[in-house]
């Protein structure tokens, strides 16, 4: 009897050790679920467009853009690699689907408050060549008939509009195909363009992919891809409208090379500037957060078994992630305090 009792005690202790140690306390469900604040299933919107195409046959672009009234708007662009067809979904931060557009010449250009492109004195969003009302987000029309857009539609060109902070311009950046020249360009209210950087000089192994505007800090951040690493360059608003030959070496803070790689390097736009740090997200859902000296702060994992594209608000309060496999979009609180 004593022997039996001892055996029972031993088994109990071993069992408790097993079930209470750290590894065993992690739920089989994704760790981010408790942080989810909203959800939308986009199967109805995407199934017929995507057909039976696999993940490798589709490109996704996902941006959270903040306008000058501190409102965030989500743009999810889905592009079929085989046909080049595009679909755009525009959502608000409650994940209400506001607009859907199919098969338009969307390109990669994403601007906001684009300083009255089609309707003078009204704010507008521009995605590719398509224009949306700045308030209602409803589709207004296409730029092509009225303006010559000075950016090739297939290059990455996520920009911002200063909307009277500087001189009412819409800015974007890209590498000119064929020449490798870096451009930071703008158009003004009349959709007349110009160069912020010196168009003839800047050829650099780093490729600019996006501009982030932090109105609170009055800074503009340029995101670069450098091989498998990412680098960010900060500029003050003041003087940004005419970087000239100082581009792109001013105030550079660089993420440590080798530490940061993108998931498969097939979607280098998955670098995100927030006021709480830089987040490098991989398609498998793993994410690292760095401070502005390049030191790693923490990491997070959305869970295995799917592929994701993410987007963060500039405050670092919420982020949004789209699950490729399930075609679901989530809004979640960021994991750090």
Question: Which residues contribute to the site for another protein (CB under 8 A)?
Answer: 4, 7-8, 11-12, 14-16, 18-20, 23-31, 33-39, 41, 304-306, 325-326, 333-335, 337
Question: By C-beta, is 190 or 298 nearer to another protein?
Answer: 298
Q: Give Cβ neighbours of residue 29 (< 8 Å, ≥ 6 apart).
A: 303
Contact predicate 36/93, CB 8 Å = no
Q: Are 299 and 288 in contact (CB under 8 A)?
A: yes
Contact assessment for residue 98 and residue 92, using Cβ atoms and an 8 Å cutoff: yes
Residue closer to another protein by CB (options 176, 301) is 301
Which residue, 4 or 200, has its beta carbon nearer to another protein? 4
Least distance to another protein from the beta carbon of 23, Å?
5
Q: How far is the CB of 27 from another protein (least distance, A)?
A: 5
Give the torsion through C-alpha atoms of 99, 127, 242, 202, to 10 deg: 140
- CB of 24: closest distance to another protein in angstroms? 4
First to last CA, the chain: 53
* Measured distance CA(282)–CA(265) in Å, rounded: 9
> Cβ of residue 242: shortest distance to another protein, in angstroms?
41
Residue 49 to residues 137, 197, 323, 331: CA-CA distances in angstroms? 22, 39, 16, 23
CB of 20 to another protein, least distance (A): 7
Beta bridge partners of 254: 231
Q: Which of 317, 286, 326 is nearest to 302 (CA)?
A: 286
Nearer to another protein, 41 or 190 (CB): 41
Nearer to another protein, 23 or 121 (CB): 23
CB of 76 to another protein, least distance (A): 19
Q: Which residue has the tokens 């590719």?
A: 128
Residue (86 or 334) nearer to another protein, CB:
334
Choice between 204 and 301, CB closer to another protein: 301
Distance CA 82, CA 131 (A): 25
Residue 312 CA to residue 50 CA, distance in Å, equals: 25
Q: Smallest distance, Å, CB 271 to another protein?
A: 23
Q: Whose CA is closest to 29, among 303, 242, 336?
A: 303
């Amino acid at each position: 009897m004593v022997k039996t009792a001892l055996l029972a005690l031993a088994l109990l202790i071993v069992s408790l050790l097993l079930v209470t140690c750290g590894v065993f306390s992690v739920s089989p469900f994704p760790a981010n679920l408790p942080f989810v604040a909203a959800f939308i299933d986009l199967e109805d919107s995407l199934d017929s467009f995507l057909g039976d195409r696999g993940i490798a046959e589709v490109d996704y672009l996902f941006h959270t853009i903040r306008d000058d009234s501190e409102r965030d708007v989500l743009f999810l662009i889905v592009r079929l690699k085989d046909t080049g067809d595009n679909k755009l979904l525009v959502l608000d931060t409650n994940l209400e689907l506001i607009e859907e557009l199919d098969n338009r010449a969307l390109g990669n250009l994403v601007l906001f408050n684009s300083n009255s492109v089609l309707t003078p004195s009204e704010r507008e969003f521009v995605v590719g060549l398509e224009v949306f009302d700045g308030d209602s987000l409803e589709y207004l029309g296409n730029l092509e008939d009225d303006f010559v857009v000075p950016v090739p539609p297939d290059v990455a060109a996520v920009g911002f509009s200063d909307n009277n902070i500087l001189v009412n311009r819409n800015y974007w950046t890209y590498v000119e195909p064929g020449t490798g020249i870096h451009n930071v360009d703008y158009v003004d209210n009349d959709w007349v363009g110009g160069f912020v950087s010196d168009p003839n000089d800047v050829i650099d192994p780093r490729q600019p992919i996006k501009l982030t505007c932090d109105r609170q800090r009055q800074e503009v951040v340029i995101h670069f891809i450098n091989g498998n690493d990412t680098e960010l360059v900060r500029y003050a608003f003041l003087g940004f409208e005419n970087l000239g030959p100082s581009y792109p070496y001013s105030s550079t803070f660089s993420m440590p090379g080798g530490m940061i790689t993108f998931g498969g390097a097939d979607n280098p736009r998955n670098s995100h500037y927030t006021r709480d740090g830089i987040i490098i997200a991989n398609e498998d859902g793993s994410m690292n957060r760095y401070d502005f000296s390049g030191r790693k702060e923490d990491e997070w994992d959305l869970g295995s078994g799917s592929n994701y594209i993410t987007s963060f608000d500039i405050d670092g309060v919420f982020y949004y992630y789209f699950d490729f496999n399930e075609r679901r979009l989530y809004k979640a609180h960021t994991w750090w305090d």
